[in-house]
Each structure stands twice: as structure tokens, then as C-alpha cells.
Amino acid sequence: MQAFNPYLPSWEYIPDGEPHVYGDRVYVYGSHDRFRGHAYCLNDYVCWSAPVDNLADWRYEGVIFKKTDDPDNADGDGCLYAPDVTRGPDGRYYLYYVIDKFCYVSVAVCDEPAGKYEFLGYVRHPDGTRLGEREGDEPQFDPGVLTEGETTWLYTGFCGPWDPSRRGPMVTRLGPDMLTVVEGPRTLLPSMPYAAGSGFEGHEFFEASSIRKFGDLYYFVYSSVVMHELCYATSDRPDGGFTYRGVLVSNCDLHIDSYKPAEKPMLYCANNHGGLAQINGKYYIFYHRHTNGTNFSRQAMAEPITMNPDGSFVQAEMTSCGLNGGPLIGRGTYPAHIACNLFTSREHMYTGGPGGDGLWLDSCYPILTQDGRDGDEEPGYILNLTETATCGFKYFDFQNVTRITVRTRGYATGYFSVKTAWDGEELGRIPVPHSANWRDTTADVRLPDGVHALYFTYHGHGGTSLLSFTLE
């Protein structure tokens, strides 16, 4: 069994993934988008888990908390935004979340990591006032939590660029009841209006607080004001002293210069949210990508990431092999939805919509999508591959590949140019026929042996969709 990106089924839409290892399994807690949704996080919380020694074997744990389980949202009008989970001093598991229309943090509890969570209460000051509602409190958003002994550290905040009313992400110390504020909130690091001279310039905090401790260092992970990147800062204490360290991952691969110019976007991007995990002695960064040409149908992604001797990380490259532990086998049939690069000669970076450039991707651009409705277990594919549209897959270990079959449909008459680099030499052409149904077309294409990427660039009239390809 091999692992792909996205690592969950192509019909599942779990953004904001926070990975946690409990026992011999890794659990991912995230919000839950809807396919073709009109807003963020329309569905209830679900959980997926995998054995720590087989990150290709993900199991659906079911719904762990419904939006109507919160007594302040019994009508279901609010959406469950990005959550986090921590194991409390009593050994139980605590789910922290914020509902989109409220400014305070709710908490639910369960005896198991992925059981049915029951509403517990709201994070509150000692006088009973909810955190976020007392005069002087900033609104709470995107909680990240870390428990050490009897103390739980709660990290929250949303700081729109150029908004001086938001000073930065906040850290709040909670007591052993997991609800009561013992200390704080205090500002952890500066927002954009206050960042001059801080070292965070150009990568200031926007949202998506996440916290981990590796060795003696605390790692605060967040989404910066450019949205597509997850950055991190470190400190030797949990409540301050954080120094900017760099970018962990970008969901358009910006800043990566190993296979293309550093500032060339390689996938249509927007916001980002995720967390670090150490699994079986290796480090991974979990994040999400955008599909369907909008901001509202996001999927779970993960990459291995290298830690340097000084505790810093090397930015992870977006790949199709993600949690596989190495390149994919260079033979067999692969689904097209595992593409990690998607672009045309008409460069465009953001999906658009809220926080983007105000426009959704239009008919000039290819998108990752599926048939059916939300929840239908339909395979994902790439829609609207028109002239110069390129989809890329990284990486495969090719051995004596001499033929490639593509499965396409659409009103198109043209061909795919096959390459092992986005701007590389053409190694062969595969005809793309006009067909209303999925149809296989095979061509002789010899790929070089060894570990390489695989790119298909469409040339011709009309547009086609790509469901899968087979290497022989």
C-alpha cells in the first residue's frame, strides 16, 4: 500500500488538520468543508486516524462532534471553525473550537481520542465571564492547545493585515479544569501594524495558531498575512520570547527553488492551516490545498520535513507522495487528483474569493474536482485542461517505463506533451480524443530510469479532463 497526497480519500474535505499521536495511532482533527460549499467549514467535525507505522492506512473514525452539540448553536446556523485537541491531566481528551459567529472558545471532552465528544463549557475568566467577551479582550479564533502537567496553554487570534485593533496572537494559561483562565491572555508576537524591527516582517501573523514542543523548544506554527504559507517561531518557554524561524510549507510551493524559480507558484493557493507532528522519529508538516476553484473545498495534505541540528526546519516541498516515505512506484495506475502542480502559461496565484484577488478561478484555468454531491464517494479528477495547462506529479521511481495510458473525457482534440520537468524536454506525446465518456488512450513514451517528476501539458483545441494515468 502506498500513501498519496491528499492522504485522505479524494471525496473528503478536511482542512486545518492538527495531527496528534496518541498510543500507536496518529489522529487528525480539522474543520470539515463541503464539496462545492458556499462558505468555510459547513460540515460537522469528523476524525481520521492511521497506525504510526503505516501512514497509508487511514481509517474514518466518524463524526466526533456536531455543530448543534454546542448549546449556543442549537439551530446549527454557526460553522465549526478550526479545532485542536489535547490530552488533559485527567487523561481525557479535550476539543477546543470557535464557532464562526462567536468570539469565545468552546470545549468538549471525550474519554477516547476519536469517540463522541460531549460539550463541557466555555473558556472563562475566574469571574465567569467568557474569554473574548470581557472589556479589553480581543476576539478568540483558531485555538491551538498544549497541556503540560496541570497547565494547558491556549493560543488564539486572528489579525487582518493593517488592523491596529489586533495586536497579535494571544496565549492564555488555563487551570486543570481545562476551562478557567489562570493567567493572560497576553500577546505572543506582533501583528502586521506592530512588526517593524521584530524579525517577522513580510511573514506577520494572520491566523491558524498551532503549538508543539520538540526537545527544549516550543514551536508556534501559524499562517502568515500572505495566507499560502505556514510559518513558525520558536522559544524556550511557552508564553513568550518567540523568534521568527522561517516557512514550513507553502500551498503553492512559493520560495522553493529546487525544481523551479523560487517565486513561481505551482498550484492555485489561498489560506493555509496545519501543524507539525513527530511520528516514529520523523517530522511531518500537515496542511491543506484548495480544490474546485474556490476557497471552500479544502483537502488534507502532509509532507515529511527535515529538522536541522539547531532545531530549525527546511521548507517542505509539495509532492504527490507525501507520507509515502519515498517516491511512488514508477509503474501502475495513478489517480490524477494527486497532482501537486497545476498551472497554465497565464500565471495566476490565488484561487480568489475572500482574502484573494476577489475573483474565483475562471474557465481559463484547470481545477481539481469530482462528480456528484458532497459525501458521494466519487473519484477526483482534473477538469478543464486547456491549451498550455500543465499538471505535475512528484515523485516516481521509474524503471523501464515505455508506455503511458491516460484516461480522459471532454470536448477536446489535441495531445499531452510528456516531460519529467515542468519546463523540460518533451519525451513523447499522447493523443487526447473528443469523448463525452471516460476513454483510455495509450502512446509509446520512454521515461528515464530513476527518481523523477511527471508532467502532462495539454496542447490543442477545446478542453479535456484527466481521471488517471497508467505507467507500463
Q: 166 and 248: one domain?
A: yes
Q: From CA 270, how far away is CA 348, in angstroms rounded?
A: 12
Per-residue pLDDT, 355: 45
Q: 47 and 58 in contact (C-beta within 8 Å)?
A: no
Identify whether 85 is part of a domain: yes
CB atoms within 10 A of CB 74: 11
The band of 235, judged by pLDDT with boundaries at 50, 70 and 90, is very high
Residues 336, 318 share a domain: no
pLDDT tens digit sequence for 258-286: 999 999 999 999 999 999 999 999 999 99
In a domain, 3, yes or no: no
Same domain, 300 and 375: no
Peptide bond connecting 97 to the previous residue in cis, omega within 30 degrees of 0: no
Q: Is residue 10 part of a domain?
A: no
Range of the structural domain that residue 221 is part of = 18-326
In a shared domain, residues 234 and 96: yes
- Are 350 and 278 members of one domain? no
Lookup result for grid cell 536541522: 308
Tens-digit pLDDT profile for residues 438-447: 999 999 999 9
Model pLDDT for residues 365-395, shown as the tens digit of each residue: 999 999 999 999 999 999 999 999 999 999 9
Q: Are residues 233 and 192 in the same domain?
A: yes
Answer for the pair 221, 276: CB distance below 8 angstroms, yes or no. yes
Q: Residues with catalytic annotation?
A: 16, 207
Q: What is the pLDDT of residues 118-158, one digit of tens each?
A: 999 999 999 999 999 999 999 999 999 999 999 999 999 99
Q: Would you say residue 4 lies in a domain?
A: no
Per the domain annotation, does 2 fall within a domain? Answer: no
CB 29 within 8 A of CB 45: yes
Residue pLDDT, tens place only, 83-121: 999 999 999 999 999 999 999 999 999 999 999 999 999
- Domain boundary among the residues 272, 307, 326 is at 326
> Are residue 197 and residue 319 in the same domain, yes or no?
yes
The CATH number of the domain holding residue 333 is: 2.60.120.260
Domain finish residue from 326, 343, 369: 326
The average confidence (pLDDT) of the chain is 96
DSSP line for 310-351: TS-BPPPPP-SSGGGSSPEESSEEEEGGG-SEEE-SS---B-
| Residue 417 · residue 456 · CB < 8 Å | yes
Question: Do 313 and 175 fall into the same domain?
Answer: yes
Domain membership of residue 7 (yes or no) is no
72 domain residue, yes or no? yes
What's the angle, vertex CA 455, arms to CA 453 and CA 461, rounded to 5?
180
CATH code of residue 273 = 2.115.10.20
Identify the pLDDT of residue 364: 76
Asked if the structure places residue 1 within a domain, the reply is: no
pLDDT over 70 at 181, yes or no = yes
84, 230: one domain: yes
Domain identity same for 303 and 235 = yes
| For the chain, percent of residues with pLDDT exceeding 70 | 97
